[in-house]
Amino acid sequence: MYHVDTSERPVVLIWEVTQACHLSCDHCRADAQPDRHPDELTTDEGKRLLEDAAAFGEGQLVVLSGGDPLVRDDVAELVAYGDELGLRMTMTPSGTRSLSTERIEALADAGLERIAVSLDGASAEGHDAFRGETGSFAETIRAVEDARDAGIPVQVNTTVCRETVGELPAIRSLVSELGAVLWSVFFLVPIGRGRVLDPIDPAEADAVMRWLAAVAEEEPFGLKTTEAPHYRRVLAQRSADDASEAGGGKGGRTGVIAGDGFAFVSHTGEVYPSGFLPQSAGSVREQPVHELYREAPLFRELRNRDTLEGKCGACPYRAICGGSRSRAYAHTGDPLASDPLCPYVPPGYDGPLPWDSSSPTA
């Protein structure tokens, strides 16, 4: 569990440096395009953003994402600048030829602490079909090997949806073979191109999370879920802890969700609780990111778990979970609504269930 005061700083700050990318991934949140947007934050604006991020405190984690951040020719410069400021600089590049051996070496020299690559299939056939680019799997595997040679730890990201769920055991084996330090398993949120994908249903999601809990105990790499905070409820139930012992209800330690331990800066400088919850709290061109995170009403509301509605609001696990605010927003337009992917019904709750009407997984 995290030991960060999430009212003061995020555990993770993501900066989408560009939406440009040469892939056409089925799940893409950003609807990535081949060309860069003319209103992207400039190099100088990006450096000011990193200076503001340093105001969160020593060792703030910053993820440069996209699109494909390597479409920009200043990413190594930005990594080096963030490193000089004491930020922990990481990156999520696309599995294309842009992630060349030379660029990986330049990023290592600049101080990059981790590269996160995506693997949504354990073979070229499945992964390349999902990513919309022949050769993406081979380029990704080559990049992992180059990163290891350059001394950069590798994280693997995997999307869970109907198309990929059967591949998870084989991907797990591949993650281990590649020597990754972390497997981040993302449960689909239907925004961007991801709207056309078929999510798994709530009961199956819980089953996958129980399997992931066993994987976490058996493998040397770390494991976390993205947009699936009820994994923490599954862990608590699996270890026979009740909600109060696990940190549920008031006074417990909170898990990271959109706006509470997590913040996202778009390519044009808008600050969102998450890239999957595109409600802007303001622009870094007008106000520093640390002020927006700490003071914006949207972020303050999301950090108050007592504002949650429906069964998420009644749930004894809400402090360690809180539900995916992004998925609630995608399904209902209300970021405080219940997460339709969670099948857990709190004892005594007799209100509406999110999958009765709003969830396509019903």
The string of pLDDT tens digits covering residues 308-357 is 999 999 999 999 999 999 999 999 999 999 999 999 999 999 998 886 54
DSSP H or E run through 328 = helix 325-332
Q: Are strands 262-265 and 271-272 parallel, antiparallel or unpaired?
A: antiparallel
Handedness of CA 113, 118, 123, 128 (dihedral sign): negative
- The radius of gyration computed from the CA coordinates of the chain, to the nearest angstrom, equals 19
What is the per-residue pLDDT for 361? 36
What is the per-residue pLDDT for 223? 97
The 262-265 sheet, strands edge to edge: 222-226, 182-187, 154-160, 114-118, 88-91, 61-65, 12-16, 262-265, 271-272
With cut-offs at 50, 70 and 90, classify the pLDDT of residue 240: low
What is the per-residue pLDDT for 248? 39
What is the per-residue pLDDT for 190? 87
Judged against a pLDDT cut of 90, whether residue 89 lies above it is answered with: yes
Average pLDDT over residues 99-112: 96
Q: Is 11 exposed, middle or buried (0-12, 13-18, 19+ CB in 10 A)?
A: middle
**Cβ-proximal residues to 40 (8 Å cutoff; 6+ apart), any chain:** 17, 18, 267, 268
User: Which domains does the chain carry?
Assistant: 12-356 (3.20.20.70)
DSSP H or E run through 29 = none
Judged against a pLDDT cut of 90, whether residue 67 lies above it is answered with: no
Average pLDDT over residues 171-193: 92
Q: How far is CA 24 from CA 20, 242, 276, in A?
A: 11, 44, 17
DSSP H or E run through 231 = helix 231-238
With cut-offs at 50, 70 and 90, classify the pLDDT of residue 37: confident
**Cβ-proximal residues to 314 (8 Å cutoff; 6+ apart), any chain:** 346, 348, 349, 351
The string over 42-73, giving b where at least 16 C-beta atoms fall within 10 Å of a residue's C-beta and e elsewhere, is: eeeebbbbbebbbebeeebbbbbbbbbbbbbe
Average pLDDT over residues 161-169: 95
Average pLDDT over residues 47-68: 96
With cut-offs at 50, 70 and 90, classify the pLDDT of residue 116: very high
Token representation of residue 183:
């497997």
| 234/240 Cα distance (integer angstroms) | 10
What is the per-residue pLDDT for 331? 92
What is the per-residue pLDDT for 23? 57
Task: Choose between 93 and 197: higher pLDDT.
Answer: 93
Judged against a pLDDT cut of 60, whether residue 273 lies above it is answered with: yes
